[in-house]
Structure 1
Amino acid sequence: MDKNTLSENIFKVKTESDFNRLALEVYNYQYNHVSLYKQFCDTLNRPAPQHYSEIPFLPISFFKTHQILSDEFSKEDVLLFKSSGTTKSIRSHHYIADVNLYEDSFNKTFANQITEPKSAIILALLPNYIEQGESSLVYMVDALIQQSEDDLSGFYLSDIDSLIEVIEQAKRTKKKVVLFGVSYALLDLAEKKIDLSGVIVLETGGMKGRRKEMIKEELHEVLCEGLNLKHIYSEYGMTELLSQGYTNGTEYFTPAPWMKVLIRDVNDPLHIRNDGKTGGVNIIDLANLYSCSFIATDDLGVQNHNKFKILGRFDQSDIRGCNLLVNS
């Protein structure tokens, strides 16, 4: 199957067999065209996979140290996203050969799990992402803001008072109001003790070295109290992925249909466990067609059918998000 056919079929996945078939096709494409991934697979010296669970998962740290891009493209001709982080951290690089794959992915997932952008007012409190630049999250939220076609939609750096004023105006409309916010900035907002009842507050990212890290349950409890909300939504996304998962106020993320989460044994990273226990989070993201779709993240989590919960991170990893290491 050529790359154009692969690209067209990603968002047509409906069944488990559809996913398995396409995942194996994407694996074959990336093995033959992404040199680093081929080297990684050859080093493992494993039999050719017959099921997506047998496909080798590339450690996410390689996005910090290597160029991961199909040899059919040049890095000078593609879009580059870089991860956020503290001043001491090395930023991941994700080369995007086809931005339409990214846009199709986030548009479909946001519409299916949150709301149609055209029927919403979308606000963003993402100061550090804007300051550092080359952010996939800012690209996504900006596209959603443009689609909302509402004058109230927009980004806010650190002007919380202006944001509060706009939220009050937005709440008087009949539209859904969605606020994307990095965790530490949402805590700044919560300290104002304002009423955001009826607003979908979507927490993403983490403290970014600005505040003490908190477990997600504690963070959401503080935010709910300070913002007069019953629950907080969360986004699971990262620079190295072109797809997202969202919670709807529960602890579990629902991935996009072209995305799959598998849990690996913390002591044997080549073993996928199916016992509902804590392990390392492996992600298959078929939208990552021209980089690597099979990634072993630094997150710890558990799986519940087609949903997953993030419990923490491996202690040797850079801090990302608001989760802390927990014991398996």
Structure 2
Amino acid sequence: MIDTHSIFNIKNDNEFEDLALQIFKFQFENNKVYRSFCDLLYKHPSDVKTIEDIPFLPIQFFKTKAVLSALSPVKTIFTSSGTTGDTTSKHHVTDLGIYQRSFTKGFEHFYGTIEEYVILGLLPSYLERNGSSLVYMVDAMIKASKHKESGFYLTNITELQKQLKTLDAEGKRILLIGVSFALLDLVETYQFSLKNTIIMETGGMKGRRKELIREELHNRLKTRFGIETIHSEYGMTELLSQAYSQGDGVFNCPPWMKVLTRDTEDALTIQSPNRTGGINVIDLANINSCSFIATQDLGTVNPNGSFEVIGRFDNSDIRGCNLMVL
């Protein structure tokens, strides 16, 4: 059995690769859905020598299968948002403690101790439904904060803007994390000149507004919040880790997470850096589910391991992979 503490103590690329290969072997042997997928590809642990050899499970499997590598009871099921009639993803989580460690240590890796921040969550589309992993994360961060002003805001943006201006003027460190459409609603009603606040968007208009390219969204937010950079969080229902951008849309992963890109015409071919392709994520914290996920996002990985998200596959179609019949 793999010691989960080792996941969050990775020091270098060699340790990451060694642990990733161990987790691949563990999930091959214990995850029926992933094993069936690997068998269809004729990929066995004896064939896998590097992380580039590891098969990445298409993310759509989470819509139809319980993707589990553990026999422990399921503690919660995180579900994705979706428009009416869509089939949503379901992530069966057997150990919420691993998720807690992942998002806590991941945030602190880039931003420092959570308790030092006033955490303000502006996530109406997520709060209006059950099963959001993002709400679970932000709620835990609010509880970890040592500031009584931390909390969620649904539609009460008048109260939020008063709180934000007051706290910022007092010099407190503030994190306002919000879905894109709600942040736009806020700044189209009120204007700010913030000095001590991090604005972090989680992406997505959730059908409430026309989608904007990142540059346009960030420029609008920067102007109205009166700040120089907009931060971003890259996470998803099917993962237990997040990457963060501290400006310019360039994301960095914590030490137990890594992003690769695959060829858009051949889903089994991993590309070298600086080429646009489908985003594959290795999330070692996802040990009890599947750590190797082929997402529906398009992006580019830089030579230093940072990455940029460019868009999504048309019609969420991952070309080059016809193995969805499991």
TM over 0.5: yes
Deviations 1:111-135 (A, max 9, x none): 1212321111010100010111111
**1:300 CA displacement:** 0.3
Q: 2:283 maps to which residue?
A: 285
Cα distance in structure 1, aligned partners of 2:129 and 2:193: 28
The answer on 1:222 being equivalent to 2:220 is yes
Cα distance in structure 1, aligned partners of 2:39 and 2:282: 19
Cα distance in structure 2, aligned partners of 1:169 and 1:86: 37
Deviations 1:87-137 (A, max 9, x none): 232211011111111111110111121232111101010001011111100
Cα distance in structure 1, aligned partners of 2:273 and 2:9: 30
The answer on 1:40 being equivalent to 2:37 is yes
Distance 1:225 1:88, change over 3 A: farther
Q: Which runs of 4+ in 1 moved over 2 A?
A: 85-89, 172-175
| Matched length | 313
Alignment gaps of 5+ in structure 1:
319-328
Within the candidate set 258, 274, 278, 2:256 is matched to 258
Q: 1:66 maps to which residue?
A: 65
Deviations 1:213-250 (A, max 9, x none): 11111111111122212111000001111001111112
Q: 1:321 maps to which residue?
A: none
Q: 2:16 maps to which residue?
A: 19
SS in structure 2 of the partner of residue 171 of structure 1: helix
Distance 1:196 1:154, change over 3 A: farther
* Aligned partners of 1:109 and 1:244 also within 8 Å: yes
Deviations 1:177-200 (A, max 9, x none): 110000000110110241142210
* Aligned partners of 1:299 and 1:310 also within 8 Å: yes
Cα distance in structure 2, aligned partners of 1:51 and 1:196: 49
The answer on 1:312 being equivalent to 2:311 is yes
Deviations 1:69-96 (A, max 9, x none): 125134xx42111112222322110111
* Aligned partners of 1:35 and 1:71 also within 8 Å: no
* Aligned partners of 1:192 and 1:226 also within 8 Å: no
Cα distance in structure 2, aligned partners of 1:157 and 1:227: 19
Cα distance in structure 2, aligned partners of 1:137 and 1:196: 27
SS in structure 2 of the partner of residue 316 of structure 1: helix
Alignment gaps of 5+ in structure 2:
318-326
The answer on 1:118 being equivalent to 2:131 is no
**1:275 CA displacement:** 4.4
The answer on 1:276 being equivalent to 2:274 is yes
Q: 2:84 maps to which residue?
A: 87
Cα distance in structure 2, aligned partners of 1:52 and 1:170: 46
The answer on 1:138 being equivalent to 2:135 is yes
* Aligned partners of 1:184 and 1:206 also within 8 Å: yes
SS in structure 1 of the partner of residue 275 of structure 2: coil
Residue 239 of structure 2 aligns with an amino acid whose one-letter code is L
Cα distance in structure 2, aligned partners of 1:83 and 1:196: 34
SS in structure 1 of the partner of residue 126 of structure 2: helix
SS in structure 2 of the partner of residue 272 of structure 1: coil
* Aligned partners of 2:70 and 2:289 also within 8 Å: no
Within the candidate set 293, 297, 302, 1:295 is matched to 293
**1:286 CA displacement:** 0.1
Q: Relative to structure 2, which stretch is displaced further, 225-234 or 263-272?
A: 225-234
Distance 1:260 1:191, change over 3 A: same
Cα distance in structure 2, aligned partners of 1:179 and 1:114: 13
Q: 2:51 maps to which residue?
A: 52
Cα distance in structure 1, aligned partners of 2:251 and 2:241: 12
**1:271 CA displacement:** 0.5
Cα distance in structure 1, aligned partners of 2:65 and 2:128: 24
The answer on 1:100 being equivalent to 2:97 is yes
Q: 1:164 maps to which residue?
A: 161
Distance 1:62 1:176, change over 3 A: same
Cα distance in structure 2, aligned partners of 1:49 and 1:196: 53
